[in-house]
Amino acid sequence: MTSASRTRPLADAGTYVVLVAAALLTLAPFALSVLTSLKAPVQFASTSPLSLPNPVTVENYLTLFDGSRVDFGSALGLTAAMVVVVLAGQLVFSIMAAYAFARLEFPGRDLLFWVYLATLMVPPVVTVVPLYLMMVQLGLRNTFSGLVLPYLLGSPYAVFLLREFFRGIPSELTDAARIDGAGTWRTLLHIVVPLSRPVIATLAIITVVTHANNFLWPLIITSGDELQVLTTATASLQGRFNANWTLVTAATTVAMLPLMAVFLAFSRRIVDSIQITGFR
Amino acid sequence: MHEPSSGARTRPGRRRARLREAVAGYGLLAPSLVGIVAFLVVPILVAIGLSFYKWDLLSRPRFVGLTNWAAVGTDPALLNSAAVTIAYVLLVIPLQTVLGIALAVLLHRGLPGSAGLRSILVLPWVCAPLALGIVWKWIFAPTDGALNALLGTSIAWLSDPDLALPAVAFVAVWSQAGYVALFFLAGLAAIPASVLEAAQLDGAGAVRTFWYVTLPLLRPTLFFVLVTTTISAFQAFDSIYALTQGGPAGATNVVAMQIYTSAFKTFDMGRAAALAVALFVVLVLISLAQQLYFRRRITYDLS
Amino acid sequence: MRPNRARRLAIGITAAAMLLAGCSAPAASPSSAAPQENAQLVFRTWDENAAKAYDQTFAKFTAANPGITVKTEVVAWADYFTKLRTDIAGGSAPDIFWLNNSYLAPYARNGNLVDINATLGADAAGAWVPSVVKQFTVDGKLWGVPQTSDGGIAVYYNKKLVADAGLSEADIAKLAWSPSGGDNSLLTVAEKLTKDASGKTADQAGFDAKHVKQYGYNAAYDLQAIYLPFIGSNGGTYQDGDTFTFSNPKTVEAFSYVVDLINKHHVAPSAADTNTNGDFSRDQFLQGKMALFQSGLYNLANVEAGAKFDWGVVGLPAGPAGAISVTNGVAVVGNAASKNSAAVAKLLAYLGTAEGNQAIGASGANLPGVTGAQQVYKDYWASKKVDLTPFFSVLDNGTIPAPTGENFAAGYAAYDPILQEIFLGRKDVAAGLAEADAAANKAIQG
C-alpha cells in the first residue's frame, strides 16, 4: 500500500488527521505537566490547571536539586551508575553465553538452552518477594550491590536474542579465524562482536530503557534517601507532597527527560531496532 | 564445534579438542548460568517453599500447610484481584491491539512526516511507567486536574470504583499503542507488495484487501504481539501503584498489586508467595499456548 | 545428564537452605560491646516539619557528644511502615525512629526495640507525658521515649467565611450533632457555610451540589480527626482490645451521620476527593475554600504557615455522649539491632530531656512529649496569639482509645477498601460496617 505514486488526497488528508490527532494526544500529557511544573504553587492553587505559567518559574526544579527536601541530583547519578553497571554486565555475560550456545558443542547444551528459554517466562513480580528475602540473607538489603546483582549476570532474553543473531554469522568467518589459530576469546572479540554491532546496540537500548525505568525492585530493595533512583525518588516525593502538583510534575519531568532526550536524538535508529527484536 | 574439515586428527586429540571446547563452553556460560539459577530459578523454588508458611518478617515462620493455597481459591480479596486482573487485560489488550494495527496501517502509507509522527507515538515507551502514572494521576485529579478543567466537569476519575479501572486501562493503552504499532509496521513491511497488487488487480477494494489479504498475513505478528502484551498486562504494577495503589475499594487491585500488598503492607509473605506462584502458573500456561503455536519454529531453532 | 541432575539437586538444597536460613533468622543480636568513639546514627520520621527541628536538636547533641553524628531521613507516611518492616527484617533499619502506638506491638513483642526502662532507668518516664507513656507500654515494659503528645481534636475556622455567612464565633463555638433528633447545630451551621458556584448555600432551595465552591466542613474518611471522634462522641467503640467493633450500633450511627454530611447534605468534599488524598481538606481550607476544618495540633504549624486569612480555633462538636476526642502521641524508639547501641542509648536519653525535646516544640511543629519541654510550645503559640485551649480542654471529657493491636496493619488493610466504599455512598453503612468488622477481625487472626 505504499501508494506514493497514486495520489489519493482524501485518504492522505484522513491519514494525517488521525495521525496528528494521535500524536497530539500522546504529547498533551507531557506538555501539560511541563507547564504545571513551571508554575509557582500559588498560581497553581488560584488559577485553572490549564492556564499558562505566569510568571514562569523554575523554583520547583530548584527544590528538587537543592537537597533541602529531596535529592534528585543523587538519584540521577545513582540511576546512571545502576544502568551502566547492569548494561555492562548484561552485555558481556549475555554475549559469552550466546556464543557458547550458538557456536560451541558441549554436553548438556540443548538442555541448558531450554532452561534459559524457560526462565524467559519468569516475571519480576513473581520473584520479587523471594529475591528480597535472599538479599536480606546475603546482607545486601539497601546496598548498591543488592540493587544491581539480580540483573548483572545476564538475562535470558538477551542470550536468546544474541544467539539467534550469532547463528546467522557465516561459519566460514569464524572457522577461518580458528584456522589462523585464534582462540575462542579472540574469535568472539574480533569477529563475532564487531559483526553483531546492530543487535548489540538494540539490546543496549532495551536494557537501558528497562533498567532506568525499573521501579518494583528498587522500591523493595532500597529504603531511605541514600539509594534512591529516579523512579523511587519520584514515587516517594509524590507520597510526601501529595497534591503539591507543581513540584510533583517537576519531578516526573526530571525522571523522564534523560531517556526522552536520548530517544529523540536517536529516534529513527531506536525505532528501527525495536522492530528488529520482534521479528527475525 | 562443527567438525574440522579433515579427519586427520587422532582420537585422543579429538577428544582433547572436544574437552577443550566443552570447558570453553561452560566457561562462557558460567556467569549467566549462575545468574539465571540464583536469580530466576531459585526464587521460584523459594516462593513455592514459602507458600506453605506464615511469616510476618518479624517472628519465626510457621508451617501452615495448604492454608495459603486454600486462600488463593477462596479469599474474597484475592478472588477480586483475579477478576480485576482479567478485566484489566480484557480492557487493555483488544483496544491496544486494534489501535496499534490502525496506526501501523496509517503509518505504513509512508506519507511525508510519517517517521516523525512514528517517533512521537513511541515516546511514552521510553518513559518510566511509574512517572507516567503520576502524570496521569494529576491529569485525572478531581478538582485541580487537567482533564476535569478541560471538560468543565468534576468527575472523580480515579476514586469512583466504576471509572477507576477503565481510567487505569486507558493509561496503559495510551502508553503502549504506539509501541505495539511498531511491530505491526514491521509485519506490514514484510508483506510483499506484489501480493497486495494482485489483490487490487482482482478488483478488491482497500477494505477488502485489508480484511482478506493484509490481516491474514499479519497473523504471526498479531499472535506474537497478543501473547507478549497479554503476559505483560497480567503483571501490570508500576502505573497502577502510581495511579491508585489498587483502590478505590479494590477496583484496580490487580494481582501484582495484591502480591505487593500482601507481602509489604500486611506482611504475609506466605500468602504473597502463593499468589506469585499461582500467577506464574497462569503465565506459563499462556506461554505454552505460544510454544504450541510456534512449535515448528522452536524445533528449528534447537536444531 | 548427570551434571544436570546434580545441579538440580544443588538448586534444591540451596533453596531449602535459604528457606531454613529464613526460618531461623531472628533480628540480629545487639552488639553491646564497648561504647564506640565514633558513631553515625540515622534517625527516621514521617513528618517534614519535625525533621527540620530534629536537625537542630542533633546539632546540639553532637556538640555535647563529639563523635556521634545523627542524620535525619524522612519517609512518607504512606510507605513508612512498609519500609520499616522490610528494613527491620533486612537489618537496614535506622538506629532510632518515630513510631506511633498503632504499629508498636509487633516490634515490641518481637524484641526489635530497645527496652527504655532497662536502658534509661525506671525513673526516666517520670519526666514524660503520662498518657503517651501509657500508649507505649506493652506487656508492662516501656518501648519509646515520648516526643509528641497531640492534644485533642478541635476545629480550625476561617474567620472571614464565617462572618460572610452572618455567623459569629459564638454561633460556632459550641457546635453539637446528634444522629437522632436533638441539637444538630453542626449541620445547620455547615449548611450555611457551604456555597455552590452561584452563591447559594446548602440550606437554600436550588443549591447545586455538583458545583460546590466553598465547603462548610471536612467530614471525611479520616481516622484520627473525623471518625474516631465521631464514634467516641456518640458513645460508640472502634476496638475492643485488638478486636474491631464497627458493628456496635452507636458506631454505626456515628458513621451514618458523617456519611450523610458528605453524600446527603453535601457540606463536605466528596469522598472521591478525600478518600485517597488525606491532605485534600487541609489544602481546601488553606486556599480559603473551606470554612470549618476539624483536625489536631499536628496541622497547627501547617495552618499557621499556609493560611493567608484570619483564622481561629473552636472546640470539637459535641455528640450525644459529649465531645470525645482521640489523643495520639508519638515516641522515638531505639533499634535493638543497632551496631551503635551505646550511642543510641545516649541519644534516646537526650531526646527524653526537656532540652532534647524542645526543638520540635519551639518551632510550633509539635507539642512535645516531655512535660518540661511543653512550655516553649505554648509560649510559641502564645506569641502568635493562637489560643490552644480547645485542643486541651476537650481531653477533660475523656478520650476514645487510639487504634492498637499486634496485627493492626493487616486489619486496617482489610477494612480500608470497605470503608472507602461506605464513604463514597456505594455501600449501605450498616451492612458495610458489618462486612468491615468480619474482614478486619479475620485478618488480624491471621
- What pLDDT, in 10s, does the model give residues C206-239? 898 888 899 999 999 999 999 999 999 999 999 9
| DSSP string over C193-217 | T-EETTS-BTTSTT--TTSEEEBS-
C-alpha–C-alpha distance, residues A103 and A101, integer Å: 6
- Of residues B154, B264, B266, nearest to C410 (C-beta): B266
C-alpha–C-alpha distance, residues B29 and B49, integer Å: 28
Q: pLDDT of B210-231, one tens digit each?
A: 888 888 888 888 888 888 899 8
Are residues B33 and B133 both part of a single domain?
no
Are residues B239 and B152 both part of a single domain?
yes
Are residues B26 and B72 both part of a single domain?
no
Q: What's the whole-number average pLDDT of chain A?
A: 87
A274 contact B CB<8A:
yes
Query: What phi and psi values does residue C155 have, to the nearest 5 degrees?
Result: -125, 120
Are residues B175 and B37 both part of a single domain?
no
* Identity of the amino acid at A231: T
C-alpha–C-alpha distance, residues A6 and C47, integer Å: 67
pLDDT of B83 above 90: yes
Confidence of residue C18 (pLDDT cuts 50, 70, 90): very low
CB neighbours of residue C213 within 10 Å: 13
Confidence of residue A278 (pLDDT cuts 50, 70, 90): low
The answer to whether residue B56 sits within a structural domain is: no
* Identity of the amino acid at C41: L
Q: Is C121 helix (H, G, I), strand (E, B) or coil?
A: coil
Contacts of residue C443, Cβ cutoff 8 Å, sequence gap at least 6: B266, C407, C410, C411, C413, C414
Alpha helices (runs of H) in C142-227, residue ranges in sequence order: 159-164, 169-173, 185-192
pLDDT of B259 above 70: yes
Alpha helices (runs of H) in C405-445, residue ranges in sequence order: 408-423, 429-445
pLDDT of B192 above 90: no
CB C112 within 8 A of CB C97: no
| pLDDT for the residue C422 | 94
What is the least distance, in Å, from the CA of C190 to any CA of chain B? 21
Are residues B41 and B134 both part of a single domain?
no
Q: pLDDT of C386-418, one tens digit each?
A: 888 999 888 888 889 888 888 888 899 889 989
| pLDDT for the residue C15 | 45
Output the pTM of the full model: 0.85
Instruction: Map out the domains of chain C with their CATH numbers.
Output: 39-151+328-391 (3.40.190.10), 154-326+407-445 (3.40.190.10)
- Of residues A44, A96, A230, nearest to B32 (C-beta): A96
C-alpha–C-alpha distance, residues C81 and C92, integer Å: 14
pLDDT of C266 above 60: yes
pLDDT of A76 above 70: yes
C-alpha–C-alpha distance, residues B167 and B240, integer Å: 10
Contact criterion met (CB < 8 Å) for B36 and A220 = no
Residue owning grid cell 533486612 = C90
Contact criterion met (CB < 8 Å) for C287 and A46 = yes
Q: pLDDT of A32-67, one tens digit each?
A: 999 999 999 888 878 888 889 988 999 999 989 987
Are residues B109 and B172 both part of a single domain?
yes
Contacts of residue A175, Cβ cutoff 8 Å, sequence gap at least 6: B2
Q: By C-alpha distance, which of A210, A256, A128, A206 is closest to B134?
A: A256
C306 contact A CB<8A:
no
C-alpha–C-alpha distance, residues A171 and A148, integer Å: 35
Q: Which residues of C touch B268 (CB under 8 A)?
A: 410, 446
The answer to whether residue B195 sits within a structural domain is: yes
Are residues B200 and B174 both part of a single domain?
yes
| pLDDT for the residue B15 | 82
The percent of residues in chain A predicted with pLDDT above 70, rounded, is 95
* Identity of the amino acid at C188: T
| pLDDT for the residue B10 | 57
Report the interhelical angle of A72-103 vs A230-240 (nearest 10°).
140
> Residue B293: which CATH number?
1.10.3720.10
Are residues B23 and B152 both part of a single domain?
no
C-alpha–C-alpha distance, residues A47 and A34, integer Å: 16
| pLDDT for the residue C19 | 44
For chain C, the residue count is 446
C-alpha–C-alpha distance, residues A117 and C268, integer Å: 57
The answer to whether residue B93 sits within a structural domain is: yes
CB A235 within 8 A of CB A213: no
| pLDDT for the residue C9 | 41
- The residue with greater pLDDT, C290 or A187, is C290
Instruction: Please identify among residues 67-106 of chain A the ones whose CB lies closer than 8 Å to any CB of chain B.
Output: 93-94, 96-97, 99-101, 103-106
Q: pLDDT of C159-168, one tens digit each?
A: 999 999 999 9
Are residues B24 and B150 both part of a single domain?
no
Confidence of residue B11 (pLDDT cuts 50, 70, 90): low
C-alpha–C-alpha distance, residues B68 and B51, integer Å: 6
| pLDDT for the residue B291 | 66
Are residues B135 and B192 both part of a single domain?
yes
CB B130 within 8 A of CB A228: no
pLDDT of C8 above 60: no
Residues B131-137 have a mean pLDDT of 96
The answer to whether residue B186 sits within a structural domain is: yes
CB neighbours of residue B74 within 10 Å: 9
CB C413 within 8 A of CB B265: yes
As beta bridge partners, residue C332 has C98, C145
| pLDDT for the residue B191 | 86
Contact criterion met (CB < 8 Å) for C280 and A224 = no
Of the listed ranges A156-165, B60-69, B290-299, C363-372, the least confidently predicted one is B290-299
Q: Is B83 helix (H, G, I), strand (E, B) or coil?
A: helix
User: What domain count does chain B have?
Assistant: 2
User: What is the CA angle B189-B190-B193, rounded to 5?
Assistant: 75
Show the domain range for B103: 67-302
Contact criterion met (CB < 8 Å) for C75 and A236 = yes
Of the listed ranges A122-136, A225-239, B45-59, C35-49, the least confidently predicted one is C35-49
Instruction: Map out the domains of chain A with their CATH numbers.
Output: 71-278 (1.10.3720.10)
- A145-154, B58-67, C360-369, C383-392: which has the highest mean pLDDT? A145-154
The percent of residues in chain C predicted with pLDDT above 70, rounded, is 91
Q: pLDDT of C24-72, one tens digit each?
A: 333 333 444 444 468 899 999 998 888 888 999 999 999 999 999 999 9
C-alpha–C-alpha distance, residues B234 and B276, integer Å: 12
The answer to whether residue B3 sits within a structural domain is: no
C-alpha–C-alpha distance, residues B72 and B167, integer Å: 27
Q: What's the whole-number average pLDDT of chain B?
A: 87
Are residues B44 and B72 both part of a single domain?
no
Q: pLDDT of C59-118, one tens digit each?
A: 999 999 999 999 998 888 888 998 999 899 888 899 999 998 888 988 998 899 999 998
Q: By C-alpha distance, which of C183, C210, C317 is closest to C272?
A: C210
| pLDDT for the residue C78 | 82
DSSP strand E in C192-310: where?
195-196, 212-214, 239-240, 243-244, 292-295
pLDDT of A157 above 80: yes
The answer to whether residue B236 sits within a structural domain is: yes
| DSSP string over C358-415 | HHHHHTTSS-BSBGGGHHHHHHHHHHTT---HHHHHGGGG-BPPPP--TTHHHHHHHH
The answer to whether residue B55 sits within a structural domain is: no
| pLDDT for the residue C230 | 96
Give the up-direction half-sphere exposure of residue B202: CA atoms within 13 A in the CB hemisphere.
12
Closest chain C CA to residue B63 = C23
What is the least distance, in Å, from the CA of B49 to any CA of chain C? 7
Q: pLDDT of A123-143, one tens digit each?
A: 888 899 999 999 988 889 889
| pLDDT for the residue C446 | 63
Contacts of residue C299, Cβ cutoff 8 Å, sequence gap at least 6: C156, C282, C293
What is the least distance, in Å, from the CA of C24 to any CA of chain B? 7
Residue owning grid cell 510483499 = B192
The answer to whether residue B121 sits within a structural domain is: yes
Cell, residue A276? 528488529
| pLDDT for the residue A7 | 63
Cell, residue A204? 543496549
Are residues B42 and B150 both part of a single domain?
no
Q: pLDDT of A77-106, one tens digit each?
A: 999 999 999 999 999 999 999 999 998 889
